[in-house]
């Protein structure tokens, strides 16, 4: 760049910290959501130290005690501390959500890479399988799988993984089809690069950013799906604690008498899922050059 006096001026490249601060000023909702997600993760990790009572302890306080100084979120119909149970449910929700998303990402990425790279018959077969999964509503698919397999953490993970695979596979396939048109891919193939080497060294890095965004958005859907399964009695079983489980049974019958039984678990689900979704939107804005340039 040249100054008015004709003397060249050096172009200063902002540091990584500077870019982060610039994005934070442009997208404060993304920063708030990131802090909320970090807080939820810390609660899940250090829940044993944060919970004031054992979440499974019956008669930890009076039955249906209102929220107050000793029991911040009140107690349920068995005298169990609601705050302790919500903290315990945080760990269950994140464990099932993260595990299912990691599994669906691995399987969906493999399907998308194969379908996008080979195209033709392989693409047709894999795409039709993905379309068949997408044709069934996600919650219905999860309910059917859990009903067939039975309750249990592993069965819930399988069900949540199944309804996340199509979104991951279609995202990866589209990215691979676009990346294949780049000149450096043709050069890598002309130089004798094997299919596995080209996929892992040149194609997969292009998939990373969209995958992170999809994983973030699907994590919120997985947590919501787990809560729905537990609410219907097909998810997490006692003595394990789930937010959805806390909303079913006695909580539904006593919601007028003790509204805190429904309010606080609902807030936990809503805040967590919304924060994760807003974080996914912020990551999309950061990594998508078209959206970034339009601001």
Tens of pLDDT, residues 113-155:
888 888 788 888 888 888 888 888 888 888 888 888 887 888 8
Integer Rg of the chain from CA: 24
Q: Helix or strand or coil: residue 76?
A: coil
Long-range contacts of residues 187-192, Cβ cutoff 8 Å, at least 24 apart: none
Q: Domain locations in the chain?
A: 28-53+72-294
Q: How far apart are CA 216 and CA 282, in angstroms?
A: 10
- β-strand partners of 8: 2
Q: How far apart are CA 221 and CA 215, in angstroms?
A: 10
Q: How far apart are CA 231 and CA 220, in angstroms?
A: 17
Q: How far apart are CA 198 and CA 117, in angstroms?
A: 10
Q: Could you tell me if 177 and 116 are in contact, meaning their C-beta atoms sit under 8 angstroms apart?
A: yes
Q: Could you tell me if 74 and 255 are in contact, meaning their C-beta atoms sit under 8 angstroms apart?
A: no
pLDDT at 249: 78
pLDDT at 6: 55
Q: Which residues of the chain have pLDDT under 70?
A: 1-20, 24, 193, 287-295
Tokens of 153: 């953490």
pLDDT at 17: 60
pLDDT at 102: 93
Q: Please say whether the structural domain 28-53+72-294 has been given the CATH code 1.10.3720.10.
A: yes
Q: How far apart are CA 266 and CA 82, in angstroms?
A: 12
């Amino acid at each position: 760049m040249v100054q008015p006096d004709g003397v060249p001026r050096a172009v200063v490249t902002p540091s990584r910290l500077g870019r982060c601060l610039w994005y934070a000023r442009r997208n404060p909702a993304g920063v708030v959501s990131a802090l909320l997600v970090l807080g939820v993760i810390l609660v899940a990790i250090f829940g044993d130290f944060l919970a004031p009572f054992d979440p499974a302890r019956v008669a930890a306080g009076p039955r249906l005690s209102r929220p107050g100084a000793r029991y911040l979120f009140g107690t349920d119909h068995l005298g169990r501390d609601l705050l302790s149970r919500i903290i315990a449910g945080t760990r269950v929700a994140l464990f099932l959500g993260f595990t299912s998303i990691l599994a669906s990402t691995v399987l969906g990425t493999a399907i998308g890479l194969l379908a996008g790279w080979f195209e033709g018959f392989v693409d047709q077969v894999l795409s039709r399988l993905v379309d068949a999964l997408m044709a069934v509503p996600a919650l219905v698919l999860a309910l059917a799988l859990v009903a067939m397999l039975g309750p249990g953490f592993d069965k819930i993970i399988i069900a949540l993984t199944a309804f996340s695979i199509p979104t991951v596979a279609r995202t990866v396939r589209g990215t691979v089809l676009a990346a294949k048109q780049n000149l450096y891919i043709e050069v890598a193939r002309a130089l004798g690069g094997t299919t596995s080497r080209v996929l892992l060294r040149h194609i997969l890095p292009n998939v990373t950013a969209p995958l992170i965004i999809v994983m973030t958005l699907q994590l919120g859907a997985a947590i919501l799906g787990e809560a729905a399964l537990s609410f219907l009695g097909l998810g997490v079983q006692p003595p394990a604690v789930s937010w959805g489980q806390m909303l079913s049974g006695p909580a539904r019958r006593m919601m007028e008498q003790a509204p805190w039984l429904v309010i606080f678990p609902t807030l936990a689900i809503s805040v967590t899922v919304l924060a994760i979704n807003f974080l996914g939107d912020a990551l999309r804005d950061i990594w998508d050059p078209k959206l970034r340039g339009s601001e």
